[in-house]
Amino acid sequence: MPDGGNLTVLDLVKKYVSLKTGIRHNTEVNYKFAINLIAKEEFGRRRIDKVKLSDAKEWLIKLQKDGRGYSTIRTVRGVVRPVFQMALEDDLIRRTPFEFQLATVVVNDSVTREAITRKQERKFLEFVKNDKHFRRYYDGIYILFHTGLRVSEFVGLTVADLDFENRKIQIDHQLQRSRDMEYIIEDTKTKSGTRLVPMTDDVYDCFQRILSKRKKPKKEPVNSGYTGFLYLDKNEMPMVALHWEKYFQHICEKYSKIYREQMPKVTPHVCRHTFCSNMAKSGMNPKTLQYIMGHSDISVTLNTYTHLGFEDVQGEMERVYGQ
């Protein structure tokens, strides 16, 4: 009869993580976060063979009552579930207590990152373009709105990734930065993330301006063989996602302060979602859009089409029946 080997939940999680090698930076961050959280919880000191289904549910409910968001709980549960599956396969427990739908236990209070309208996009870009401080980021922001690139892909771009002759962007890596300020080059999020994205005329012009304004550093930063990053910070190191997320935050705050009008929350990911939504509304073939976005699953792309409004559907029907 399984006795759990006297292992606690925390012991088991640490053992599971120790067996993971060659993992992505973001995955490693999630593992460390989960371990630190579980170490503070009474649940982490429970013997694994004593944890029942109701105990697992009660713990997740407690996390939410303690102020943990749905996405955080989902991340932790995403670590703990395979941990208990490993214990089951090792005959340490008779059944895993985490095989249930998360949404049936805790409330999904996460905020959906919606696309902004074309009018809002134009207003946002116009504000950036005319602002004395933020205009220096206009070309980069325009590119994010008109290519669908993930921000980690965008900050990882180098001069060598831009094929101006054939007007295409090579996406085959992304740039991350760890908490201890280590710069990390990783493969794209999925195999489908490796792709070629066409440059429109406007995007072509933006890249040309970025390169023409780019100051040559005393020493070009090199990371895993990649050099010639498009944007460098004041320390002449590549800008990362956090830089751009802060720029977007400050732009929204400044806009709202000046015009006393609340600008919808715009982030680099909202740019990506907006691009996807705009392409869907324009009637782009879903498989084509899936390729451009680098989605590994067509259902992720198709979910964008479910965000279309009545006017979009009405226009499409008129187009079809008017043929």
- For the annotated catalytic residues, the residue numbers are 150, 189, 269, 272, 295, 305
Place of tokens 């392409």: 279
Give the integer Cα–Cα distance in Å for 321 and 186: 47
Q: Please tell me the distance from the alpha carbon of residue 217 to that of residue 88, in angstroms, as a whole number.
A: 55
- Report in angstroms the alpha-carbon separations of 266 from 15, 107, 124, 139, 145: 40, 25, 9, 16, 11
Instruction: Compute the CA torsion angle 242, 247, 248, 252 (nearest 10 deg).
Output: 140
DSSP state of 52: -
CA–CA distances in Å: residue 234 to residues 39, 134, 176, 214, 239: 38, 15, 18, 12, 9
Return the SS3 of 298: helix
Q: Which two tokens stand for residue 62?
A: 């407690």
